[in-house]
A = this chain, B = another copy of it.
């Protein structure tokens, strides 16, 4: 018998925090990205843009790239906090993050041709704040680099309605 497929970071989010346009598994209109550990330091999200996610024909829309970096990094922040405490992602108390600041450098036009690989790693984890560096690659080439400052959600968000 084979093992069940690994759950993505976003699959651990409680239902009331699973409506995000970028990463909420319950948002039928959204991107529904999935993030995983690639190795002990790096997280990976694979996302294939749809044909209408274009900037100039043939190239990926920069706002989508920013969105992918954003949501992959808030997920990475949560995963890294569980990892730092040596406990699984479905244990209490939950770690959930919002974005304090997002920076993207667009290095070259990103070809709209198959999957994008979004990778992130934590550069600072201190108190309620996690800072991450991210990159987006297409066809084997890094096309954008990002930095995200994620901050733990206010209690009111965590509790839900």
Residues of chain A having any CB pair with chain B under 8 Å: 16-17, 19-22, 24, 27-30, 50, 52-57, 61-64, 66-68, 70-71, 98-106, 109, 153, 157, 161
Chain B residues within 8 Å of A54, by CB: 19-21, 24, 27
Query: With the chains together, A62 CA to B22 CA distance in Å?
Result: 9
Please, which residue of chain B has its CB at the minimum distance from the CB of A157? B56
Residues of B within 8 A of A21 (CB): 52-55, 61, 63-64
A63 to B56: give the CA distance in the assembly, Å: 19
User: 23 A-B pairs, CB-CB below 8 angstroms?
Assistant: A19-B54, A19-B56, A20-B54, A21-B54, A21-B55, A21-B61, A22-B61, A28-B52, A56-B98, A56-B157, A62-B70, A62-B99, A63-B67, A63-B68, A64-B67, A66-B67, A66-B70, A66-B104, A67-B67, A98-B106, A98-B109, A99-B106, A100-B105
Q: What is the copy number of this chain in the assembly?
A: 2
Q: Cα distance A69–B63 when bound, in Å?
A: 9
Chain B residues closer than 8 Å to A98, beta-carbon distance: 55-56, 62, 106, 109
Select A106's contact among B17, B57, B101, beta carbons within 8 Å. Answer: B101
